[in-house]
Amino acid sequence: MYSAIDPSKVSIMMYDGVGTYASGSYVPLYSVTQCNFGYDLPKSDVNILGHRTESSILSGPPSTSFSMSRLWGQGKDILLAHTGRSDLKFHLGKIAAAGTRLNSYTGISLTDGAISNLSISVSAGEVPSISADFIFSDNNFYDLTGAQNGTGAEVLTVIPQTGIQLNIGSQAGNNVVISTNFSMKFNWIKEPRVNDPSSGQRFLMELTRPINYTANIELTMDDYMIDRFSFSNPKTWELKIYESSLLATYTMKNPELVGESVNFNSQGIQTVSLQYRGVG
């Protein structure tokens, strides 16, 4: 079986609820390299004494999963701007003609979602990338009415020419950053509730404390000095991405150095790996 859909007409669109590009409109997301969506329903058998088992009931909230990886784009970060919100909307599939509406036969429309994990990865000589995992509410994670065609516009990805800069507290010198990964975890739970007549939801999503931050850094070991196991708070952790000028800054809240390792190989290359953790 062969698909007759032109790949150039397939897109992932995100509803812009905060005005990053076009408030109240769907925005096509450029530079997406991978996405995946799935769900499963936890069911338990209903066993009644003296009767054959013929039915089952929903025994917990539906488990939904949606993940996305994309190349980092110059300018505003639409995913970062929507962290902490539980009303995210997406459309996965075919792009409709201008001014028309997409329906359930031209893709998958998702609604009532939230970002559970967001990760930024940067390596020397490569385009930075962003990965995100999402969670959706129990019975409103799909939309059969579809979505309008996107009217906003993201900025296309650029390859930073200057590179990256890290401020990691007490370390200073000529140590070259090889790579870094910065992640944020948002702790959403599906809390069981008595049905709300206005919504009909059995499980309501709640964002609980804290937001967890983690980072891993790999450096060349030129004049590196071990940090004397000073796992103290606060330290500074700040990632800056440059081209000819500063493009973006990502900051960890309440960072602590929680691990160091020194690596040697037979080619004479020495590297240091640092692990940071923060909460906010």
State yes or no: pLDDT of 124 exceeds 90: no
CA distance 78 to 152: 11
CA 145 to CA 109: how far, in whole Å? 8
- Range 30-54 burial, b when 16+ CB lie within 10 A, else e: ebeeebebeeeeeeeeeeeeeeeee
Contact of 244 with 125, CB cutoff 8 Å? no
Q: What is the mean pLDDT of the chain?
A: 76
pLDDT level of residue 96 (50, 70, 90 thresholds): low
Mapped onto helix, strand or coil, the DSSP state of residue 9 is helix
What's the DSSP call for residue 74?
S
Distance CA 213, CA 103 (A): 38
Q: What is the pTM for the complete model shown?
A: 0.79
CA distance 207 to 217: 28
- pLDDT value of residue 5: 45
Q: ∠ CA(173), CA(257), CA(68), 5° rounding?
A: 100
pLDDT digits (tens, 9 = 90+) for 231-244: 555 567 888 877 77
